[in-house]
Amino acid sequence: MVRFWPLVRWARGILPAPPENPYFDPSKPHHTRSGFRNNHPHPAPVPDAPACLSPGAPRAEESPPLRADLSPVPPDLAFLHGNRGLPSVTWIGHSTVLVQMGGRNILTDPIFSARASPLPFIGPRRHQPPGITLRDLPRIDLVVISHNHYDHLDRRSVRALARQKGGAPHYAVPLGIERWFARNVRRAGPGRLTALDWWESAAPDGIRVTLAPVHHWSARTPWDQNQDLWGGWCVECEGFRFFFSGDIAYSADAAEIGRRLGPFDLAAIAVGHYEPRWFMRGRHVNPDEAVRVHRDILARRSVGIHFGTFEGLTAGSLDQPLFDLAEARRAHGVAEDEFFTLRHGQTRILGPA
CB atoms within 10 A of CB 329: 19
pLDDT tens readout for residues 311-326: 988 888 999 999 999 9
Residue 303, beta-bridge partner list: 268, 340
Q: What is the pLDDT of residue 86?
A: 95
Q: Closest by alpha carbon to 106, among 148, 145, 157, 153? A: 145
pLDDT at 314: 82
Mean pLDDT across the chain, nearest whole number? 90
Backbone phi, then psi, for 148, in 5-degree steps?
A: -100, 10
The model's pLDDT over 282-316, given as tens digits with 9 standing for 90+, comes to 999 999 999 999 999 999 999 999 999 999 888 88
Domains, the chain, in order of start with CATH, read: 73-349 (3.60.15.10)
pLDDT at 15: 59
What percent of the chain has pLDDT above 70? 89
Q: How many CB atoms lie under 10 A from the CB of residue 162?
A: 20
- Dump pLDDT digits (tens) for 186-222: 888 778 999 999 999 999 999 999 999 999 999 999 9
